[in-house]
Amino acid sequence: MITLLTILAAAALASALTALLVYRIARSRLLPEIELALERAGTEAAQKIGEEVEGRVRRGVQEGVTSAVSALPSREVLRDTARAARTRARRS
């Protein structure tokens, strides 16, 4: 019975040590590759998002300027307002 327990304990210990060794080797080789892939993906995503945001901001600014310019009074309105002001100033 003791021999069977010794064999099972040795097998379990050998399996645990083998699993630990495989884990450490795989981690040391794969982790840098995974980190590099994640960094590249993050950089690409940031560029795409930056381009998207830049385009939306540009369109928003253009629309804002266009609507602000269209809201300005026309030359005729300004001219008529100036004439009316001069006429009132002369009458006073």
The pTM (predicted TM-score) of the whole model is 0.45
The ranges assigned to domains in the chain are 2-91
Query: How much is the pLDDT for 92?
Result: 65
Number of residues that this document lists for the chain: 92
Q: What is the pLDDT of residues 53-70, one digit of tens each?
A: 999 999 989 988 888 777
| Cα separation of the two ends of the chain | 124
Q: What is the pLDDT of residues 20-34, one digit of tens each?
A: 999 998 888 888 888
Tokens matching residue 33: 């590759």
